[in-house]
Amino acid sequence: QQASSPRLAQFDAWIDMYAGEDFANEVHDFIRMTDVAAQSASEEIRACMKEHFLMSVKLEHMFWDQAANLMEWPAIGVTVGEQNNNDGDDTIKDEP
């Protein structure tokens, strides 16, 4: 398990929002609204709701996983083979 890093001040408001009671109440309200909507929805709609929920969970996991593993984005606009040209110029140039 990784050691905790000091909390950076620029993230305080964001972290506090998710940790706050107001956010928790909104989440519970949304869960209740979703449950009510699902009760009167057709099987087809409930299956679609489940599919969207599962995708959102996967995307959330991917978001935090890439942060935890310090994922680097691929170079865009660089021809394959030019990414590691070791010329000291890390500028990404658009293709003509």
pLDDT digits (tens, 9 = 90+) for 12-42: 888 888 899 999 999 999 999 999 999 999 9
* Residue 14 Cα to chain centre, angstroms: 14
Sequence-ordered list of residues with C-beta below 8 angstroms from that of 49, at least 6 positions apart, any chain: 34, 37, 38, 41
- Per-residue buried b or exposed e for 19-28, using 16+ beta carbons within 10 Å of the residue's own CB: eeeeeeeeee
- pLDDT tens digits for range 44-94: 999 999 999 999 999 999 999 998 999 888 888 876 665 555 555 555 555
pTM over cut 0.85? no
The 8-class DSSP code of residue 26 comes to H
Backbone angles phi, psi at 67, to 5 degrees: -70, -45
